A and B are shown apart, each in its own frame.
Chain A
Amino acid sequence: MPLRHLSKAVGAAVLLGGLALSAPVQAQTPTSMLDTIRSRGNLICGVNTGLAGFAQPDSQGVWRGFDVDYCRAIAAAILGDGTKVRYVPLTAQSRFTALQSGEVDVLVRNTTWTLSRDTSLGFDFAGITFYDGQGFMVKASLGLTSARELNGATICVQPGTTTEQNLTDWARSNRIEFRPVVIERIEEVVGAYTSNRCDAYTTDVSGLAATRAVQPRPADHVILPDVISKEPLGPLVRHGDQRFADIVRWTHFALLGAEEFGLTAANVDQAAASDPRPEVQRMLGKNGELGQMLGLQPNWVVSVLKTTGNYGEVFARNLTPIGIQRGPNALWTTPGGLQYSPPFR
């Protein structure tokens, strides 16, 4: 009866639409993430679809960047091999669902840590890998020294994210009048700024630095010192598996600790064999059972460091070339630095 087939096909379509109306079901983690990842043999990492310095495929289609190195580091910690990662490119809109529904194990996608994301979305932020904040870039010829002098200026901004909201809030609280030029695509908004349609361009400082670095004459542009918002970026995991969250968190701390102790990709093997400092010995698995406490191999930090190098190396490889300074992302031992690892003991 072909007519029945017809009604079946159409029925399926209607059913699909009807599903959309039923209440969402919160995804749970039935077994431990660690076992899932080990049995699957790879880590599924949600990354940006393309953001210079943080996550972008190179000409050969290999993912590279700061966030990508964190994916590799976590994979190295758990599986001992930084190449065992599946990268799932996610847009700003689809990233949270992908994590909630279990499509990815961990989301390392320049995501700002906020209270609502940490609680009501059901996520845990595993640390702050990069301290960012919204700033302004202007042409040096304007001679501005502070964003407060932007009264009456035309400001280029991208819509949709918190950037536009931050700008409006900041202008209102500082009684500054401005005319926004709102453009969606980054190339176009930068084009509008460079072709003098706007006096200033605002986005996160890391983005400003990256834009400035590729201008024909970077010195013609100045990033003003004012930072009008806090954008701490970090990796996220789902609520409910503390062990996995611990691993992601301490992978970040291992990168920081390694920089503090001067351990690099090149010297870690030698240090593991002969470094006399007790904390280094504990960290690299010579002494104590730190690895076992996390459910990992004793030499997990050695695997991580051989994969990516320490935090400073990760930073220098991905962010320094696009003109981003260490700034607040320097170690706490440097003035102004905020990156700090709790002790390995």
Chain B
Amino acid sequence: MSDITAGPVPTPTASRRAPISTTGPWAWARANLFSGWASTAVTLLLAYFIITWALGFIDWAFVNAIWSVPNNQTQACRDLKGVGACWAVITEKHRFILFGTYPYEEQWRPLLVCLLFIGLYIVSAMRRFWRAELGLIWIVTLAVIGVLMWGGVLSMSFVPQERWGGLPITLILSTFGIAFAFPLSILVALGRRSKMPAIKMICIVYVELIRGVPLISLLFMASVMFPLFLPDGMNIDKLLRAQVAIILFAAAYLAEVVRAGLQALPKGQYEAADAMGLSYWQKTGLIVLPQALRTVIPPLVNTFIGFFKDTSLVLIIGIFDLLTAGKTAIVEPAWQGFGVEVYIFIALIYFCFCFAMSRYSQSLEATLNNRRR
């Protein structure tokens, strides 16, 4: 037994500073930005460049910018010699960039069409609307869009297709393109994995032929060669021809994305479905596609975003989509040389749509895949 011996009385130590914090923004900055002299130097250098550039941009875009000029007199803008942006070009031309050569007094119609498209996207994106009625909503909205663009009824004047332009064209081409290409691509992807040799062959030839040529050459075929094969007096609308070319092209690419999803599915899923006695279409619709499509959301959205921007290639066949309208806006001599401002304006519009698509796909991926994690 031993007594509890009292140890040496601890001498009071000098109070130490709190340990360097390992959480919070400062700690993060220290660990990632200033961990050594090299890292610090790079951080400071980059910060210098970014701040200088940002200040320069703010100066150019806001401080020194000219927002409007009277009567197309762009001399004030030209006198800036590039130190300030000439947003007057957007003030003057925004309606042309957005709506092209659509009759000026009737431009509320394409505006309404754009809003309808955006509304349609929002409704389709919400899961609570994912039921059969959504198809009906699409058909009705697209019909209304057609009526608004063409007119000719309800005391709206008729506007022929060659006067359409700007944002509605971009939205029409990409929305219809993806809406038709996606179902077609699923059929082609399934066909490519079919055991029936003829169907398999046709699908392979289709995908490889279309993927083997650039979209530009397909658009050329549609706009330059195709009309020559039509019988006399028969003209298929130029926009429709471009639309079909875009659908066929998009479907070939999407088919390969969908096929990747089909192949990623474990064989057991197919066998289990067969064992339950499901027919081919029950198996595909209930077991295979829901899982396969979920796997390929990121590449699907990637392709969608790509096609949204690819629609601007219709400029080579003289259709005034958003980008072409922007380019045409600065043809007028008074406004030549203000391309940067116009391109920034157009880039912002494209960015809004593409960024929304990208964010939405991320949230969709998270909700649909949370069961697997």
Contact = CB atoms under 8 A, between A and B. Distances in A.
A56 B95 contact: no
A19 B331 contact: no
B104 A61 contact: yes
A120 to B, nearest CB: 15
B78 A216 contact: yes
Nearest to A95: B318
B138 interface: no
A322 to B, nearest CB: 5
A79 B229 CA distance: 31
Nearest to B320: A89
Nearest to A24: B228
A293 interface: no
A187 B100 contact: no
A50 B187 contact: no
B81 to A, nearest CB: 7
Contact of A94 (B223, B233, B331, B334): B223
B162 A102 contact: no
B78 A213 contact: no
B316 A50 contact: no
Nearest to B107: A61
Listed residue (B81, B101, B190, B199) with the most chain A CB atoms within 10 angstroms of its CB? B101
A94 B327 contact: no
A146 interface: no
Contacts of B221: 20
Contact of A52 (B96, B235, B332): B332
A60 B229 contact: no
Contact of A6 (B199, B327, B331): B199
Contact of B96 (A7, A49, A61): A61
B311 interface: no
Interface residues of B, number: 64
A233 B358 CA distance: 49
B96 A50 contact: no
A97 B223 CA distance: 8
Interface string A56-74: 1111111100000000000
Contacts of B328: 49-50, 56-57
B78 A57 contact: no
B96 A59 contact: yes
B227 A187 contact: no
A94 B224 contact: yes
B307 to A, nearest CB: 17
Contacts of A27: 228, 232
Q: Which of B191, B224, B248 has the most CB of A within 10 A?
A: B224
A52 B220 CA distance: 25
Query: Could you say which of A24, A28, A53, A103 has the most chain B C-beta atoms within 10 Å of its C-beta?
Result: A103
A327 interface: no
B294 to A, nearest CB: 22
Given A10-B206, A216-B81, A94 B232 contact: no
Nearest to B228: A24
Contacts of A94: 220, 223-224, 316-318
Contacts of A93: 220, 224, 316-317
Interface string A91-128: 10110011011110000000000000000000000000
Interface in B223-241: 223-233, 235, 238
B228 A87 contact: no
Contact of B209 (A17, A28, A322): A17
B330 interface: yes
Nearest to B202: A10
A323 B327 CA distance: 22
A273 interface: no
Contact of B233 (A6, A30, A90, A214): A30
Nearest to A188: B339
Interface string B316-340: 1110100010011111111011010
B281 interface: yes
A16 interface: yes
B160 interface: yes
Interface in A6-43: 6-7, 9-11, 13-14, 16-17, 19-20, 22, 24-25, 27-28, 30
Contacts of B100: 57, 61
A316 interface: no
B184 interface: yes
Contacts of A89: 162, 318, 320
A43 to B, nearest CB: 13
A51 B331 CA distance: 6
B162 A86 contact: yes
A3 interface: yes
A30 B228 contact: no
A5 B324 CA distance: 37
B224 to A, nearest CB: 5
B135 interface: no
Nearest to B334: A214
A342 interface: no
Nearest to A23: B229
Contacts of B330: 187
B333 A61 contact: no
Contacts of B235: 101-103
B304 interface: no
B203 interface: yes
Contact of A16 (B81, B93, B248): B248
A16 B99 CA distance: 32
A210 interface: yes
Interface string B332-373: 111011010000000000000000000000000000000000
Given A2-B281, A52-B331, A90-B318, A13 B206 contact: yes
A49 B324 contact: yes
B146 interface: no
B187 A6 contact: yes
A88 interface: yes
A7 B199 contact: yes
A196 to B, nearest CB: 15
18 contacts: A6-B199, A7-B202, A10-B203, A14-B202, A16-B244, A25-B231, A52-B331, A56-B328, A87-B162, A88-B318, A90-B318, A91-B317, A93-B220, A94-B223, A94-B224, A97-B223, A97-B228, A103-B227
Given A16-B244, A91-B315, 16 more contacts: A10-B199, A10-B202, A16-B248, A22-B229, A25-B228, A49-B315, A52-B336, A61-B96, A61-B101, A61-B163, A62-B101, A93-B220, A93-B316, A94-B317, A97-B225, A103-B227
